[in-house]
Amino acid sequence: MPSCPYCRSEASADDRFCSECGSPMKPAGKRMSKAKLAGVVAGCIGVAILVAVLVRAFSVPAFEPLPPPAEGWIRLSIENVGSIDYPSDFLELQSGNYKQLTEGLHIVYEIASSDFSLQQVGLNELEPSALEEYRRVMFQTYYLNAGEEVFRRGQEYQMSQQELAEVKDELVSSLSQEFDRLRSLGAGDNVIVDSGTLEVAEVNGMFPLVWTYTRQLDDNPVVLVKYYAFLNYDKVHYLTFSYRVQDDVYCRHICKEILDSFRLQ
């Protein structure tokens, strides 16, 4: 009798998907090669950096139920994607279209777009104190071509050190090219200070690729970036945290709590 290649549950020969974990019994499409995956993961980084630089220039397991957001936190509900929580005294949603709801004692913002940015409080109004700080949480979704697929959100996978090194080289090259392009447009001299590390991590039962590195724009303080690529069957979600290295003690634990609240549907 055949068994699921992911959870090892027994199945019938006619089953297309495992009744226990929902994983495909047979490939429904062409599994993306790791070389192509490297390009997909790197492909979105230019958009993420462009958003950050331009804003700065103008100044398959069971998933645990998500508890209500903490007091003073806002839940951002992303249509057909998932949700993430953030503290309202630390970040604000970049100006845009959203619907505010009240669920019990906490606030929920609903947005239709799967791409958004959170920034330091007060930047929407260009408050002087906000212009002296730098914090971003950015989210983007990349949809694969028809017939292509990657691992599902909860499927654990492994990559060798050589494979991770190859993907990291692709990321560094893509980011360096984007910095060169922005420099040619007069958007400042942005450089990679330390190319950092790339690893497969576990986050809330999901297994993103995580690139941690530092960068610097002109003479501004060095920025620490943590770039998460969540694989999700026919799409890849990118969640990026960035803040100044000098603010690491203040920002690190808050960003960790924000990450812990992140869920995909």
Phi, then psi, of 115 in degrees rounded to 5: -110, 130
104 band by pLDDT with thresholds 50, 70 and 90: low
Does the pTM of the predicted model rise above 0.85? no
Give the pLDDT of residue 26.
Answer: 44
Give the pLDDT of residue 49.
Answer: 41
Q: What is the pLDDT of residues 35-80, one digit of tens each?
A: 556 666 665 554 444 334 433 333 344 456 678 888 899 999 988 8
pLDDT of 260 > 90? The answer is yes
* CA–CA dist 83, 231 (Å, integer): 16
CA distances from 15 to 9, 21, 123, 153, 234 (A): 12, 13, 53, 21, 20
24 band by pLDDT with thresholds 50, 70 and 90: very low
Edge-first strand listing for the sheet containing 116-120 = 91-93, 116-120, 135-143, 235-244, 223-231, 209-217, 190-200
pLDDT of 232 > 60? The answer is yes
Token digits of residue 138: 């950015």
Query: Nearest Cα to 85, choosing from 265, 260, 264, 210?
Result: 260
Token digits of residue 250: 């203040």
Give the pLDDT of residue 65.
Answer: 66
* CA–CA dist 166, 132 (Å, integer): 37
Q: According to the 3-state scheme, what is the secondary structure of 88-154? A: CCCEEECCCCCEEEEECCEEEEEECCCCEEEEECCCCCCCHHHHCCCEEEEEEEEECCCCEECCCCC
Query: Is the CA virtual torsion 248, 253, 254, 256 positive or negative?
Result: positive
Query: Is the CA virtual torsion 37, 154, 160, 245 positive or negative?
Result: positive
From 111-125, 191-205, 245-259, the region with the lowest mean pLDDT: 111-125
Helix axes 161-184, 34-43, angle to 10 degrees: 30
Q: Using CA atoms of 244, 181, 168, 204 in order, give the dihedral in degrees to the nearest 10.
A: 50
Local structure of 87: helix, strand or coil: strand
Question: Domain 32-264 is in which class?
Answer: alpha beta
The C-alpha angle 168, 172, 173, rounded to 5 degrees, equals 115
Give the pLDDT of residue 79.
Answer: 85
